[in-house]
């Protein structure tokens, strides 16, 4: 049984920071690709950041150096540090995993197949 559980969302003012966490099933640390995605109201889902097993990572073009993805394999946790938040970052944020070794750049560009496993999401609201 594989599982991803996000936490850390909330409401912040523009310019503030949040750190999202995603607890994942241990087997997900062995192979594949993991990523953070978001979907705002009336918007399509977009790739925010993705990380491969070897640590290669890429970010969506709208992030502009404000976010950082990291993974603690010992703790089976994926993180997304979000700084200098803007109202446009308001969305439901999801972490996801696939056992296929997708290219992280392709993931954030929306060019990879949809990931197989998804968390329930955590809401981020920036005002």
What is the tens place of the pLDDT at every residue in 89-121?
999 999 999 999 999 999 999 999 999 999 999
Average pLDDT, the chain: 95
Residue 1 has pLDDT above 80, yes or no: no
Residue 10: which pLDDT band, with cuts at 50, 70 and 90? very high
Give the burial class of 66: count Cβ atoms within 10 A of its Cβ; 0-12 exposed, 13-18 middle, 19 or more buried: middle
How far are the Cα atoms of 22, 44, 103, 107 from residue 122, in angstroms, in the given order?
10, 16, 25, 20
What per-residue confidence (pLDDT) applies to 126? 98
- Give the CA count within 13 Å in the CB-facing half-sphere of 59: 13
């Amino acid at each position: 049984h594989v599982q991803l559980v996000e936490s850390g969302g909330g409401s912040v003012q523009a310019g503030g920071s949040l750190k999202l966490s995603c607890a994942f099933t241990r087997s997900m640390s062995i192979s594949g690709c993991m990523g953070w995605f978001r979907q705002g109201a009336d918007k399509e889902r977009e790739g925010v950041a993705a990380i491969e097993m070897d640590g290669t990572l890429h970010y969506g073009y709208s992030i502009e150096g404000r976010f950082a993805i990291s993974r603690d394999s010992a703790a089976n946790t994926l993180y997304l540090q979000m700084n200098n938040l803007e109202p446009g970052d308001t969305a439901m944020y999801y972490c996801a995993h696939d056992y296929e070794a997708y290219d992280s750049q392709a993931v954030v560009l929306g060019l990879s197949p949809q990931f197989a496993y998804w968390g329930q999401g955590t809401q981020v609201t920036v005002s």
